[in-house]
Amino acid sequence: MITVSCAAIIPWEVNTMADNTLIRTEDLCVWFPVRRALPFGKRRYVKAVDNVSITIEKGETFGLVGESGCGKSTLANALLGMQKPTAGKVYFKGKDLNALSIKDFKEARRDMQMIFQDPFSSLDPRWDVYRLISEPMYIRGGYTKEQMEQEVLRLLKLVGLNEDDLHRYPSEFSGGQRQRIGIARAISLHPDFLVCDEPVSALDVSVHAQILNLLMELQQEMNMTYLFISHNLAVVKDICKNLCVMYLGQVMETGDTQEIFNNPLHPYTRSLLSAVLSVNLDEKQERMILKGEIPSPIDAPKGCRFCTRCPYASEKCHQETPQLQQCGEKHFIACHFPGIGMEK
């Protein structure tokens, strides 16, 4: 077994030393109350995000991965101020997002936009492309009609559509083209921070690369910072500098993407990695297939959240919740036995 030395340090404490942070969370919790079955029963919560501390640096693409229902979208909504935290803080450009005045909050929100997973339901079917793309500018105000038209045309070309598409409706486009419209709308106010919530999951595999390339080009051109959410580790591998692996509302492993791919120390990360099919048929991969279903987030397991599905779980894992510890220069893991099962 690989042995690693761990020191108790959490990422944001390390990263805030460099003043390159765009957004960070500090022990962020978002819990949703569950309606009680009996009037005097115990209050229960869906702990969608539970004690999450992450730091996203200016200009980077930060990957957030985990199975469906692990709290990725809820975390993104809290980062954008669309979901109030139950506890903990979100700092955007050094300021507590939830303590801003209404005016400052509106200004901050203009700098943060989102691309949605489903381009079929995220665009109003009654609006044409011009209205869809110009709406954020219209709400912001300060544009003449000519300026707005010019800007919409510029955005349309930027995302690979053309002038003829201006007065067509979403139903007349393919999934990939609709996602391009969603992207044009999201970048219309020149945001600093863009959340891409599974932007290719609902699209045909053949257009994945086109949309990902477009996002990467726009990031270079407009100097944006991305939070890239995906349930597929293969998608984030080449585009994300740093990565965070979530399970049932908590961070399991986080740090430099290459370091995590080269040396995945958490059994959960390894199970996600082994679910990614390798096209290299010579490569003999040992597959780690998880047993059982993801537990209910209402009564999350005591101790380590992953203990009910971890093939290496011991008594300690069922009793004590592991804290995030440093296991490499930019590598943090929440496991009592980092690297367990990585037999050489």
Ligand X SMILES: Nc1ncnc2c1ncn2[C@@H]1O[C@H](COP(=O)(O)OP(=O)(O)O)[C@@H](O)[C@H]1O
* Distance (Å, whole) CA 160 – CA 218: 11
- Is residue 24 part of the contact set for ligand X (CB under 6 A)? no
* Distance (Å, whole) CA 20 – CA 261: 24
- Is residue 301 part of the contact set for ligand X (CB under 6 A)? no
**Smallest distance from ligand X to CB 254, Å:** 16
User: What tokens appear for 119 in the block?
Assistant: 């381009």
Cβ closer to ligand X: 46 or 159? 46
Q: Which does 297 bind (CB under 5 to 8 A by kind): ligand X, Mg ion, none?
A: ligand X
Q: What is the dihedral of CA 71, 73, 76, 81, to 10 degrees?
A: -100
Pure H helices in the chain:
11-15, 72-79, 102-110, 129-140, 145-158, 175-186, 205-222, 233-237, 257-262, 267-274, 315-319
* Distance (Å, whole) CA 131 – CA 137: 10
Chain centroid offset of residue 168 CA: 31
DSSP classification of residue 28: E
Cβ closer to ligand X: 250 or 325? 250
Of the candidates 324, 331, 234, the one whose C-alpha atom is nearest the C-alpha of residue 27 is 324
- Is residue 71 part of the contact set for ligand X (CB under 6 A)? yes
* Cβ atoms 167, 128 nearer than 8 A: yes
Cβ closer to ligand X: 68 or 147? 68
**Smallest distance from ligand X to CB 297, Å:** 4
Q: Which of 6, 14, 27, 32 binds ligand X (CB under 6 A)?
A: 32
Question: Quick one: which segment of 52-60, 72-80, 158-166, 328-336 binds ligand X (CB under 6 A)?
Answer: 72-80
* Distance (Å, whole) CA 89 – CA 16: 14
Q: Which does 70 bind (CB under 5 to 8 A by kind): Mg ion, ligand X, none?
A: ligand X
Cβ closer to ligand X: 73 or 225? 73
Q: Which residue has the tokens 């669309």?
A: 82
DSSP classification of residue 320: S
Q: Which of 22, 29, 48, 240 binds ligand X (CB under 6 A)?
A: 48
- Is residue 63 part of the contact set for ligand X (CB under 6 A)? no
Cβ closer to ligand X: 68 or 223? 68
Nearest residue to Mg ion, scored by beta-carbon proximity = 73
- Is residue 70 part of the contact set for ligand X (CB under 6 A)? yes
Containing H/E element for 333?
strand 331-333
**Smallest distance from ligand X to CB 40, Å:** 22
- Is residue 331 part of the contact set for ligand X (CB under 6 A)? no
* Distance (Å, whole) CA 58 – CA 78: 18
- Is residue 73 part of the contact set for ligand X (CB under 6 A)? yes
**Smallest distance from ligand X to CB 303, Å:** 20
- Is residue 85 part of the contact set for ligand X (CB under 6 A)? no
Question: Quick one: which segment of 50-58, 69-77, 142-150, 155-163 binds ligand X (CB under 6 A)?
Answer: 69-77
Write out the residues near ligand X by the rule CB under 6 A.
32, 46, 48, 66, 68-74, 297
